[in-house]
A and B are shown apart, each in its own frame.
Chain A
Amino acid sequence: MEKYKMHILICGGTGCRASASEAIQNNLQDALKAKGLEEEVQVVMTGCFGFCEKGPIVKILPDNTFYIEVKPEDAEEIIEEHIIKGRKVMRLLYTDPEKKEVVSDSKHMGFYKKQIRIALRNCGFINPENIDEYIATEGYAALGKCLAEMTPQAVIDEIKESGLRGRGGGGFPTGLKWEFASKNEADQKYVVCNADEGDPGAFMDRSILEGDPHSVLEAMAICGYTMGADKGVIYIRAEYPLAIERLKVAIKQAREYGLLGNDIMGSGFNFDVEMRYGAGAFVCGEETALIHSMEGLRGEPTVKPPFPAESGYNGKPTNVNNVETFANIPVIINKGAGWFNKIGTEKSTGTKVFALAGKINNVGLIEVPMGTTLREVIYEIGGGIKDGKKFKAVQTGGPSGGCLTEKHLDTPIDFDNLLAVGSMMGSGGMIVMDEDDCMVSVAKFYLDFTVEESCGKCTPCRVGNKRLYELLDKITEGKGTKEDLDLLRNLSTVIKDTSLCGLGQTSPNPVLSTIENFYDEYIAHVEEHKCPSGQCKALMQYVIDPELCVGCTLCARNCPVDCIAGDRKEAHIIDTAKCIKCGACMEKCKFNAISIQ
């Protein structure tokens, strides 16, 4: 292997790649070549660093310098100044927004301080397309330890003792699940990795697969060893081309090294992995639906029991775990259950990865110990609300979760606490909303999603959710009544109680939690026919204040439907009948003369 003096790491996650990280890589390499340094400095495209808000990110080792918002044209300066002259490029460093101090090292940034990275340990650290780098960070040591030193039952006991619970949302104890699958005798068994991340606004699994694909392969092999399965299948969204590509490379390399295939490490244990592609169906996150989809059928769930551990893929015992769950396994084996179960809370051990997004300063991928409070996540890691606006709600658990408010901010995040306050952990989407977001519209947004994604097999979910959506639509149109709120509540309860699978059993949560926490806002919609946040188009009008309007004509020139009239230097008027309420005029007005009524 080559020995390099310095390494330049570039984030190759989807967000940073969208902002030209490949061009940055090329320019850096060209600049190094021009200076004859290509043998001294290695440029590596890694997985996601997590700090997506400030991407593209470039990190320089060994001095740990963390450059943000790097552009392809900055490459030459980084090489010239930093690599050759040893001077940091100050303008590309992060400035702490509160202390106004420049921070050059990610360890001292508010965004990273409270994080503990277990599942994301290698993301942004190794080159995901090079198995040697994974092996250099204890990769495949856990598999070796299991095969050489531990019986399958000992591995299961270790996972049970670690307290690890399924990270896909359900929170079922992983060790127990493995034990069930191991106890069912069959000629063929399967390990399945659920990489069909369907939660809108969540990208944890994709980042792990893009940044550290081997950790998932290694864990699947360990799982196969415990339950006596020699086949693993990764069910992945076809919409994740980069993750698919990196997995293909990883599988090929692992086979070449004899870490997948027959007689792994001379132990006599056989295990290989193949991939199946999802085709865009949220319900396939449910394990029985996922299995049907793997069999080439419509992804409709079936009643449990029988559980997949008895009769799953092709009718054989099958264990399904999510990507993040698997990514935790090698670390637990290497460091021991006793190390892992000291992190987090008593009943929810370890960490959880969240995709933090919405109206927050630091959008990104974070991993925090269970028990961290929402306040710490939103204000310390997330850097607070964007544009100095007021916090209104945080949505966890995606379309199955709920909207939590100010009063829940000090709740320590774990599986049970979130359920107790009417939301759920879900797979890890965390969307922050501010005072401009209308909670009725948010509930309607989620129901729109559920209606589209309901597989249609059971009536409560297929018909009930549609009726919920219609009621919410009626309310946002200003035609709702107070009785509709009771109807929403009753119908929600019925859908939850009678639906077949997890989708319908949780889909009314966004409605129930917003009614519970933002009742006044619903009342304003149905009684005063007003939308307090000014989001519901039917309930608002744009008006120009003649006192403030100076007649600059900027609004009229920007109106896409020409509905603003007025002479130069005279107050303008909006023709509300023609107005499509796009808000372009208000955005452009420099005199704050346009408001929503």
Chain B
Amino acid sequence: MAKIKLAKSKIDTLVDICKSFDNDGAELINVLHKAQETFGYLPAEVQEIIARELNVSVAHVYGVVTFYSFFSMVPKGEFPISICMGTACYVRGAEKVLEEFKRLLDVPVGETTEDGKFSISCLRCVGACGLAPVVTIGERVYGRVAAGDVADIIKEYQS
């Protein structure tokens, strides 16, 4: 992994997070949740520090980070777009909506646009199946989205 290049203040924050969980290896997932909340994602440097503080191997931390879909090693965009791919949304045309986002923003799922503005991800059911297909951008929920609406939705964030 790359050499640690985090600022000192960020390292301190991370050390404090680990300490708040008693540097207990069994609390790894909780530590990772907190770290991702703080940094937005979990780059290699962050994982190395957590491994050191909890006294577990980096491989173990990396294994857990990559196992769970909630944890990400790449930063999300300023406006993270999530397309619900639960079954209810799927049968109401979520795939076409996803294709349109991918086509218009020209990025694959799981990646961020070059200007750092948008990232696309799929999620499994937000529980608003009555509004299927559902797209969320940040906290905002868009219901009954059709492929034809996608361009207008993106425009809202481009100004």
Contacts and interface: CB of A to CB of B under 8 A. Distances in A.
Interface string B124-139: 1111111110100000
A75 interface: no
A449 B124 CA distance: 9
Interface stretch (B2-10, B11-19, B21-29): B21-29
Contacts of A363: 88, 129-130, 132
B32 interface: yes
B141 A281 contact: no
Interface string A12-56: 011100110000000000000000000000000000000011110
For the complex of A and B, list the 7 residue pairs with the smallest distance between their C-beta atoms, beginning with the closest.
A52-B130, A357-B88, A279-B68, A203-B127, A201-B87, A18-B141, A200-B86
B91 interface: yes
Contact of B88 (A13, A18, A358): A358
18 contacts: A15-B131, A18-B131, A55-B130, A200-B125, A277-B29, A277-B33, A278-B68, A279-B69, A280-B124, A293-B29, A295-B26, A296-B25, A296-B27, A357-B88, A358-B91, A560-B103, A560-B151, A580-B99
Contact of A201 (B29, B32, B100, B129): B129
Interface in A198-251: 198-203, 206-207, 238-240
A583 interface: yes
Given A281-B67, A281-B68, A455-B67, A296 B29 contact: yes
B44 interface: no
Interface stretch (A145-153, A158-166, A429-437, A513-521): A429-437
A186 interface: no
B92 A359 contact: yes
A362 to B, nearest CB: 9
A252 interface: no
Interface in B91-143: 91-92, 96, 99-100, 103, 123-132, 134, 141, 143
B85 interface: yes
B99 to A, nearest CB: 7
B74 interface: no
Interface of B: 25-30, 32-33, 63-64, 67-71, 85-92, 96, 99-100, 103, 123-132, 134, 141, 143, 146-148, 151
Contacts of A183: none
A462 to B, nearest CB: 13
A198 B69 CA distance: 12
A587 interface: yes
Contact of A296 (B64, B131, B141, B148): B64
Contacts of B125: 199-203
Nearest to A452: B69
Interface of A: 13-15, 18-19, 52-55, 198-203, 206-207, 238-240, 276-282, 293, 295-299, 355, 357-359, 363-364, 395, 398, 429, 431, 433, 437, 442, 445-446, 449, 452, 455, 558, 560, 580, 582-584, 587
A582 B96 contact: yes
Contact of A239 (B32, B70, B89): B70
A375 to B, nearest CB: 20
A239 B87 CA distance: 17
B68 A299 contact: yes
B130 A437 contact: no
Interface centre among A18, A207, A358, A442 (most CB of B within 10 A): A18
Contacts of B147: 582-584
A431 B58 CA distance: 42
A445 B124 CA distance: 12
A432 to B, nearest CB: 8
A583 B147 CA distance: 9
B127 A587 contact: no
B85 A582 contact: no
A201 B86 contact: yes
Contacts of B85: 200
A285 to B, nearest CB: 12
B33 A238 contact: yes
B94 to A, nearest CB: 10
Contact of B148 (A238, A281, A357, A587): A587
Nearest to B69: A280
A395 B127 contact: no
Contacts of B67: 281, 298-299, 455
A395 B132 CA distance: 17
